[in-house]
Chains A and B, each alone.
Chain A
Amino acid sequence: MTKKFETICITTGPTEYSDYVTLNIGPIHPAMHGTLRVITKTDGETIISAKPEIGYLHRGVEKLGENLTYTQFLPITDRLNYCSAICNNVAYEMAVEKLLGIEAPPKAQLIRMIMMELARIADHQVCVGILGVDLGALTPFFYLILQREEIYEIFEWHHGARLTNSMGAIGGVEADLPDRFHEKWPKLRDSIRKANDETDKLLTHNRIWMDRTIGVNAFCGDDALDWGFTGPMLRACGVRRDLRKDEPYLMYDKVDFDVPVGKHGDVFDRYMVRMLEMEESIKIIDQAYELYKDFPEDAPLMKKVPKIIKPPEGQIYHAIESPNGELGFFIKSDGSDKPYRIKIRPPCFMVYQAFEDLVKGEMISDLIACLSSINVIAGELDR
């Protein structure tokens, strides 16, 4: 009864349900990042219900994991969140290291940290840029994407790939920071800051931008925890939770950084959280680089691991803070050279399941804004 009453309140129009238009957004649609699909029921422009359909990019990554050796699975993890492949790589490597009971050498940890934070900046840049594009502001996207290319340059110098990085190996990283990194980073830092600044000038206090984002699909922190939100989405709702602070891994406990937190959990807060996190990432890289400098050049980068990795029987779960939130790998080993079961906990999977709650009663334009601000990556969502 209450349900019906609500619907009438929203529509204030005809109450026959047949009058709603079913609008099928995606899987081929310019704003559906990758291959997402939302089946919406609309009353004019107002969304009555929105049912996300996923699985269009399902490649059976977990089944693949069960049939590949531990090392062979590493390149597959690139294809999860392809905007920040390094974070996936490191998350997987660290999970296997935990299973083996080893820890990467400190210098390798710092290199991983630097690379991961660079990947985080790149990921946030894409997310903020695409959010702008989907709201009609195309220009900031190009400012940000240019800097992302520069970041990819560093990746290319380090491990030879730009997008699908496959960085590092189980037990450490394969290479030291490239020589060119030392000159590149101070320049890159300034240009990233400049690009962020330009974006900030163009968007943050823009009246239209504020109208479009403030208060749009706001979400309560308790609800967010109930739905299993993590990462920027959760922090925008006002919950201070960051695995880098709460469950420090690598050397995050040795660097000093803030965790930006929003208030209302609306699109604007998510945008701001991401913008501020980029600045924090720059700070982390600077500090990690200072720590890195203390190590001699021939400090070990790899822990000794056997050529064929055969972890003992057991099961572990290890999670890191990827740009989108908690990225966890659950690995069960049966003592052979292949994992018995790999389960990936993708951050946007949990966020996306609350999509209907997020967009109900809003307009079609807000649905697009919401989708971009969640930063759903189909590769990670469908696995």
Chain B
Amino acid sequence: MATEIDRLILKFQNKDTLAFEKLYRMYADNICGVINVIIKNPERSQELCQDVFVKVWEKSASYTPSKGRFFTWILNIARNMAIDELRSKSHKNQKQNLNTITFVDIVTQSEDLDNTTDTIGVEALLKGLKEKCVLLIDLLYFKGYTQKEAAEEIDVPLGTIKTRLRACISAIRKKFGL
């Protein structure tokens, strides 16, 4: 059963630029958001986000639906490029800040910078979320940590990561009404 987005992805893989543009409009902010959380440089994030989508276009043939969600695929490309960027000389000084600032801090900054994004209320919704939940989501979704790396980072047993993540996501869903 192919959904609208499945058809769009198929067109995109057949090098349909209109389909690609639609997908871009669907996911560009998410990708830029992730990059911004990693490199913490809004302007550079915008540039890098473009580079990510150029790469996504170039690599379109390598995406296979059975191996994961399309969003997960581009998320992975974006994280890798952002981490590469972070490791480059220009961001050496900020390297140590990678884990001390979470996406929640960036949400606050974004609201301060630009009111056009519909982040209003997100910060409020995330308030009250356990610190370990914020860290877990930050590491697993934004920063591309493995379960093992995340378990070590926030000092919890590896076997509990899955259920903790489930609980955190469920809590947010309840607040967002998703």
Chain A complexes with chain B = no
User: CB within 8 Å of A: which residues of B?
Assistant: none
